[in-house]
Structure 1
Amino acid sequence: MPSAFDFAPFRRSTVGFDRLFELLENSASGQSQDNYPPFDLVKLGDNEFHISLAVAGFTQDEIDITAHQNQLIVSGQKREDNGATYIHRGIANRSFERRFGLADHITVTGADLRDGLLSIELTREIPEAMKPRKIDIGRGETHQLDAPLGDAERSKKTSKQLQDA
């Protein structure tokens, strides 16, 4: 299903934003997504983020966290029951997969499972080459740019430079 918004004018006038437009188009396509497990996404600072997922009933061995190509994938696979007979089962034990799109230079710095909450720490690490830097202005001679010369003028100037040398 195409999105209600046309990104064609933006695609024509930008370079390298294809992935962003694809994400916007896919999210607007009306795909219903399972809301399990519930999560919180918190911005702690300019470059620090925290994700908390409610994964009650899952152990550390049953959860897998993978960062791959600007995407964080958290999945859980419940192991077989130990043969217990449940009268009521209110704690979800179904398998899940939750995906989070990561911006460039976002890395996972840690994860912890405590009291039924999976906490994932994320940090934006901008490479030195991409950080703003001050450019010093030199105080040397000013150079005048020569006007474009025709072939005859260029050969006269070249022969004069050879005579002066």
Structure 2
Amino acid sequence: MRTDLDFSPYRRSTVGFDRLFSLLETGEREGFSYPPFDIVREGDDNYRVTLALAGFRPEEIEVVAQQNLLIVTGNRSEDGAPGEFLHRGIASRAFERRFQLADFVEAGEASFENGLLTIDLKRVVPEAMKPRRIKVSGRATADNRIEAPRETIREAA
């Protein structure tokens, strides 16, 4: 199955979305990588990112939020479990996962439960950037018009 997407028709008919299309194309080339994750939209301005991190402890995970970037890293320490592994299916390798965040999206609380790391995200638009309603005034009313005295108009005729 071919998964290549061609964004060139959209690039020709849009202005200012070059960064978005570049991110989509880059993400498509990267394919699926470790660790698996979900992104859920919980409302107009609320999102949740959940990463499956089986075998990790909370102290082995680091979450860093920068401007327009969320970085999750994990370094698992060796437990020195007794015995010889016949099959090792639970990943124990270090990882770094980066998420590009839209403008004004901020990371909130992070929690780790049952092998799932959950990070809450919220879009916080500054008051200066929010749309505001502007009152539209109409044409001048009869009370506000300035008229020349009638005598002046008759004398000119």
Pair in the same fold by TM > 0.5: yes
Deviations 1:66-113 (A, max 9, x none): 222312121111113335334343322111222222111111111011
State the identity %: 46
1:132 to partner: Cα distance = 1.5
1:135 to partner: Cα distance = 1.0
Whole-angstrom distance in 2 between the partners of 1:84 and 1:50: 37
- 1:4 aligned to 2:6? yes
Which amino acid counterpart does residue 12 of structure 2 have in structure 1? P
Q: Which residue does the alignment assign to 2:62?
A: 64
After TM superposition, the structure 1 = structure 2 runs for residues 3-152 of structure 1, keeping only pairs within 5 Å, are: 4-6=6-8, 9-10=12-13, 14-15=15-16, 17-28=17-28, 30-34=29-33, 36-82=34-80, 84-88=82-86, 89-138=88-137
Scaled by the length of structure 2, the TM-score of the pair is: 0.72
Whole-angstrom distance in 2 between the partners of 1:5 and 1:18: 10
Whole-angstrom distance in 1 between the partners of 2:27 and 2:127: 33
Whole-angstrom distance in 2 between the partners of 1:27 and 1:39: 14
Q: CA RMSD in A?
A: 2.6
1:138 to partner: Cα distance = 4.8
Which amino acid counterpart does residue 22 of structure 2 have in structure 1? E
1:14 to partner: Cα distance = 2.0
Is the partner of 1:20 in helix, strand or coil?
Answer: helix
Unaligned runs of 5+ in 1: 143-165
Deviations 1:136-163 (A, max 9, x none): 2357969xxxxxxxxxxxxxxxxxxxxx
Is the partner of 2:22 in helix, strand or coil?
Answer: helix
CA gap of 1:129–1:118, structure 2 versus 1, over 3 A, is same
Which amino acid counterpart does residue 137 of structure 1 have in structure 2? V
Which amino acid counterpart does residue 39 of structure 2 have in structure 1? L
Deviations 1:30-66 (A, max 9, x none): 33341x2222221111111111111121111111112
Whole-angstrom distance in 2 between the partners of 1:19 and 1:60: 34
**Matched pairs, number:** 136
Whole-angstrom distance in 2 between the partners of 1:8 and 1:42: 27
CA gap of 1:9–1:87, structure 2 versus 1, over 3 A, is closer
